[in-house]
Structure 1
């Protein structure tokens, strides 16, 4: 049951007071493992950057992490950056898992509330009570404190504190959910980061852009409040987000794949075409595939019949465990997906054929033919009960995506991977015509979404205020940002995975990574070891 309260008015600052907060997304490059990359703030064209990176040794397939801070003085934290869930939480230093070592320990930093002079509990334990499909749990209070993102520090941000972390299949790591607050794991909905940034006046509306970049690159970005036109090529097309098929409310980032073709060894095959970008796509008679765009998922999960009939016959080298030789990364192969019958995105094989590593030793895993083993990141999945499947990083790396929560829309373009162009950032004003007014060329807009859009929530316990930090703790860039326990000295690139799940209050999270058929969609913790996917699956469920 949702409750409301009389709120103190937030402190609103002009959007021009602070530069748009932009998080640099970085991937681990083993060749740079010993380089001396300076810590500190990196300023780029009026934006503020911090670091998000991908670590394959944490799970099969990886996902994207950010460095943030919490408390006074600031305590460094690593959190999963997740468009498929909505909560912000950190692992408490007193949790048994965080005081231990090994494959079930806390790997994303730990938060010590007693060391923060600005920490306040707003809802005692077990108000934050998250459970996972593999039996893992995270329980504790909801609290408020100063959270730093880039060089912006915001007072009175609410988050969960996992005082009791029971991770059964892998590392425990905190999370920053960027979905609609509607889906938080609590009965008392609170403003999450997109809303906090808007309420403080740092950005104009709940909008951010994601550019993960090529699987072999170090850095990409998530830019709050704007669009970087240097990070995509061709047309930027806007699509309405589909509403939940049960509630008819827009509260998750769902769109449709309306056609799919594959090029394998130079030969192109049309796999399917048709269907609509509407609620009709939820029906069995519509060919379109409803998908949730989720940075917290590593793979693209497709219905089992689509996989068996369309995908498997073309990629015959993928074994029954979803593995293959990494030599196929260099094949002349790709997938082309059409979203909402409006925009085509081509994804090269190297983006969905990803090396795997032993999480204990960080050594590459050897395939049966003696080469390095790779995971095929298009996977068969049983029905979820949600009406959609999850489209994760394997496909998102080739996409530039604008997540517009206020208007219930997604804008998509082909990512300009490996771009060396200088950033070209435009600030998006509030309102239904915000993107159209800011992007003058190669833009295909959409009419106002007429479905009900999940409303913004406000802070029920305190007003926000924002300041610019004099120094940015925990804002290392490049390889220096990767946690020491995730770094490898040889064996190629690493990447990461993500995780959160839904709670006892039925948070609607998306599945991340590779999903085991029949597994509960309420969430799966990070898998700490690269395992046979038919047995465990990889990544987490958000």
Structure 2
């Protein structure tokens, strides 16, 4: 499955469930309805575990409920408070989250790690609780989804891994909600341009690619204006969009050394063809561009994030971005005094 999930231990004694890491939403909820998902996702859904508040001595209901809506799917949840523990970290007490009574097109629960209380929620969300209960020293976390070949990534709440990126971190201010395309406080940043760098020949920079985008680990695909996606697909030799809205791409391109380059102030993230081309299991194999056109807003999903290392810093109101690399592990704690801007990679002898 393409989703990126995190183990969450809830209750006393702990009940283990898996939830999708989603930087594009703001609430934690569990217990999806596996009968309302595509048949191809049902087995995965049934394997992620479930939470029963009656089996936890520390569970408490809030007597509140909500309908949570996503780009795809929705969930009706009742809110509970209970103990939540992450691997290797102290347990947090009385953390609020949702337990689904029904859901549609959601094959796992969701760990929304956007801005919470006073911004998008009226209660302390997961990120708020980590800082308030002293598990982290700031409302910050770092995310490396890892390449498709690696099949695993790492998220560090309250820390940064200098062995997971190249060069230095570039600091991008988070665009305020009132200045964003949809008026919602998300991880919005300004992007300067997108270019196509083929294995041979000159790079082509696409017009009208200076825009505000948000980083969304909950989206498998990258969404950009329709004209931009069409131009990128054409540059990759696609003959056009099919009836499902995808652009067919020659699978042989995935083995070539070309990149799609996303430029920001201070850093360019080069996404290899192999990461942005998605292969569908069929005979013969079929491949598609991992982007779709959008008329609402632009987001950089997993087909971008697998080539990036990002530190999401709500305390500092910034995102720190670099090209993804993997030369081991060297974790530093993020504190209010941490100098993340210009922090150097430990790969290749840096410090």
Matched, 1:289 2:211: yes
Aligned residue among 84, 91, 98 for 1:147 = 84
Partner of 1:312, secondary structure, is helix
Q: Distance in 2 between matches of 1:295 and 1:66?
A: 12
Q: Which residue of 1 aligns with 2:328?
A: 422
Which structure ranks higher in relative contact order (CA pairs < 8 Å, sequence separation ≥ 6)? 1
Aligned residue among 207, 227, 246 for 2:160 = 227
For structure 2, list consecutive stretches of 5 or more residues without a partner in the other structure. Answer: 347-351
Q: Which residue of 1 aligns with 2:94?
A: 156
Q: Which residue of 2 aligns with 1:128?
A: 66
How much has 1:423 moved relative to structure 2?
A: 1.4
C-alpha contact 2:120 2:185 (8 A) present in aligned 1:
no
Q: Structure 1 residues 239 and 104 mapped into 2: Cα distance closer, same or farther (>3 Å)?
A: closer
- Of structures 1 and 2, the larger Rg is shown by 1
Q: Distance in 2 between matches of 1:250 and 1:193?
A: 18
C-alpha contact 1:397 1:415 (8 A) present in aligned 2:
yes
Q: Give a deviation string over 1:328-365, Cα, whole Å, max 9, x none.
A: 211232111111x3211111000011223xxxxxxx22
C-alpha contact 1:182 1:251 (8 A) present in aligned 2:
no
Q: Structure 1 residues 101 and 70 mapped into 2: Cα distance closer, same or farther (>3 Å)?
A: farther
Q: Distance in 1 between matches of 2:60 and 2:249?
A: 50
How much has 1:407 moved relative to structure 2?
A: 1.3
Q: Which residue of 1 aligns with 2:349?
A: none
C-alpha contact 1:399 1:413 (8 A) present in aligned 2:
yes
Partner of 1:181, secondary structure, is coil
Aligned residue among 314, 336, 342 for 2:235 = 314
C-alpha contact 1:130 1:185 (8 A) present in aligned 2:
no
Q: Structure 1 residues 311 and 110 mapped into 2: Cα distance closer, same or farther (>3 Å)?
A: same
Partner of 1:79, secondary structure, is strand
C-alpha contact 1:87 1:185 (8 A) present in aligned 2:
no
Structure with the higher fraction of residues in strand conformation:
2
How much has 1:324 moved relative to structure 2?
A: 3.1
Q: Structure 1 residues 158 and 239 mapped into 2: Cα distance closer, same or farther (>3 Å)?
A: same
Matched, 1:397 2:306: yes
Q: Structure 1 residues 441 and 307 mapped into 2: Cα distance closer, same or farther (>3 Å)?
A: closer
Aligned residue among 200, 205, 228 for 2:138 = 205
Q: Distance in 2 between matches of 1:312 and 1:96?
A: 34
Matched, 1:174 2:83: no
Aligned residue among 236, 256, 265 for 1:331 = 256
Q: Which residue of 2 aligns with 1:78?
A: 18
C-alpha contact 1:242 1:250 (8 A) present in aligned 2:
no
Matched, 1:109 2:46: no
| Count of residue pairs the alignment pairs up | 337
Q: Distance in 2 between matches of 1:119 and 1:237?
A: 42
Q: Distance in 2 between matches of 1:132 and 1:222?
A: 22
Q: Structure 1 residues 77 and 332 mapped into 2: Cα distance closer, same or farther (>3 Å)?
A: same
**Where does structure 1 differ by over 6 angstroms across 4 or more consecutive aligned residues?**
247-250
Q: Structure 1 residues 138 and 220 mapped into 2: Cα distance closer, same or farther (>3 Å)?
A: closer
C-alpha contact 1:429 1:435 (8 A) present in aligned 2:
no
How much has 1:119 moved relative to structure 2?
A: 1.1
How large is the RMSD of aligned CA atoms in angstroms? 2.9
Q: Structure 1 residues 137 and 428 mapped into 2: Cα distance closer, same or farther (>3 Å)?
A: closer
Alignment of 1:520-539 (within 5 A): none
C-alpha contact 2:237 2:249 (8 A) present in aligned 1:
no
Aligned residue among 259, 273, 282 for 1:365 = 282
For structure 1, list consecutive stretches of 5 or more residues without a partner in the other structure. Answer: 1-54, 56-61, 274-285, 357-363, 443-542
How much has 1:272 moved relative to structure 2?
A: 3.6
Q: Distance in 1 between matches of 2:117 and 2:83?
A: 23
